[in-house]
Amino acid sequence: MTGVSQVTSKINEQNAKELDTEYFEVTCHGGARPSHQEWQGKVYSKKELETVCGLGTADGLCGCSCYHDYFPFIPGISERAYTDEELDKLKQEENAPREFAGKQYTKYEATQRQRALERTMRAQRQEIHLLKEGGANEEDIITARAKYRVTSSEYTRFSEAMSLPQQRERVTVDGLGTIGNGKIDLTNKDYRDIMFMKGNMTDVEARKWYLAHDKTIPDLIDKSKSVEEQAKQACEFRNQFRTQARELMADQDKRKQLDISDPNKSFEELVADKMQRKNLNREQAIEDVLNTATKTRKSVNKSLGLED
Ligand SMILES: [Zn+2]
């Protein structure tokens, strides 16, 4: 028992003595852990508080991070705050799972996940703080901020999906204020360095990232190789960047549509397609693949406001 709980428990027992009762009603609250849901909101004798509710143990009533309490109860006079039916209904509602990102959570599990996300956010803010204090380069600070914002946005979406209030004060208690704010531009970052952004970029951000990487393809190609070899490399790089950009998109429904409407083509498919569409022989088609390696689809850029 914590210090406060011990005092409350002494007072309760004193009151009970004065009220001439040996019974106690345990409080009831939402989001209680499953083992506490079993006994919350009911009436117990002093002995039962220990044997049923585990009073005095770390896992039991008034133990570690338990928010339950108990008060003297006079049978025939006192009225319970919750009937057995109400307690059953509450238990049923709380244990009805809700879904987030393909995973089911009971209310208790959801509050646990919320606390974990808050811990992650505190650690990420601390990291930004330490990087700043240590005079780290701006790029590292930007990455750290982006990581924090991904968690923060997940926290918002998760809390909404679970119908739980956000408790941001548990995060900002660190006194670091708006440390996560500031401009974030991940356009030129390597995919490996921003894997944490998977499923977190807007369509425009993902398209910008793709365009920036698409432009680097000519520099990535091994010019000592044959034209066909170079064209193959160009095709592979483009497919790689296209897939990665789609991985980064928050709108994965749209991504699935893109995978169907505008799928990656293998080198041979690309060559065959060009031969047919542009009426070229194989050699010309291969040259064309290499020449257009950095030509991005203007219509897509236009629809995203990236090009006039
Ligand atoms: Zn409890």
Ligand 1 center from residue 183 Cα (angstroms):
43
Ligand 1 center from residue 92 Cα (angstroms):
18
Single-letter code of the amino acid located at 215: K
Q: What is the pLDDT of residues 168-188, one digit of tens each?
A: 999 999 999 999 988 899 999
Ligand 1 center from residue 156 Cα (angstroms):
26
Q: Is the per-residue pLDDT at 308 higher than 50?
A: no
> Shortest CA distance to 242 belongs to which of 194, 297, 304?
297
Ligand 1 center from residue 44 Cα (angstroms):
15
Q: What is the pLDDT of residues 17-36, one digit of tens each?
A: 777 789 999 999 988 999 99
**Higher-confidence position of 164 and 7:** 164
What is residue 66's three-state secondary structure?
A: coil
- Please compute the mean of the pLDDT values over residues 58-69 and round it to a whole number: 94
Q: What is the pTM assigned to this prediction?
A: 0.75
> Shortest CA distance to 232 belongs to which of 274, 288, 290?
290
Q: Which residues, in sequence order, are CB contacts of 133 under 8 Å at separation 6+?
A: none
Q: Are 290 and 227 in contact (CB under 8 A)?
A: yes
Q: Are 287 and 226 in contact (CB under 8 A)?
A: no
Ligand 1 center from residue 162 Cα (angstroms):
21
Ligand 1 center from residue 214 Cα (angstroms):
56
Ligand 1 center from residue 109 Cα (angstroms):
15
User: Taking all residues of the chain, what is their mean pLDDT, rounded to a whole number?
Assistant: 91
Ligand 1 center from residue 123 Cα (angstroms):
27
Ligand 1 center from residue 42 Cα (angstroms):
13
CA 189 from centroid of its chain's CA atoms: 22
- Please compute the mean of the pLDDT values over residues 290-294 and round it to a whole number: 79
Ligand 1 center from residue 253 Cα (angstroms):
41
Ligand 1 center from residue 72 Cα (angstroms):
17
Ligand 1 center from residue 71 Cα (angstroms):
14
Ligand 1 center from residue 60 Cα (angstroms):
7
Q: Where are the beta strands (DSSP E) in the chain?
A: 23-26, 43-45, 70-73, 98-100, 103-105
- Please compute the mean of the pLDDT values over residues 74-87 and round it to a whole number: 93
Ligand 1 center from residue 37 Cα (angstroms):
8
Scan for tokens 């910008």, then name that residue.
Answer: 208
Q: Is the per-residue pLDDT at 97 higher than 80?
A: yes
User: Tell me, what's the pLDDT at 17?
Assistant: 77
CA 13 from centroid of its chain's CA atoms: 45
- Please compute the mean of the pLDDT values over residues 268-282 and round it to a whole number: 95
Distance CA 222, CA 178 (A): 46
Distance CA 203, CA 253 (A): 12
Ligand 1 center from residue 68 Cα (angstroms):
4
Ligand 1 center from residue 225 Cα (angstroms):
69
Ligand 1 center from residue 19 Cα (angstroms):
25
Would you tell me how many other CB atoms lie within 10 Å of the CB of residue 2? 12
- Please compute the mean of the pLDDT values over residues 255-279 and round it to a whole number: 95
Distance CA 308, CA 304 (A): 10
Q: Is the per-residue pLDDT at 240 higher than 80?
A: yes
Distance CA 98, CA 157 (A): 13
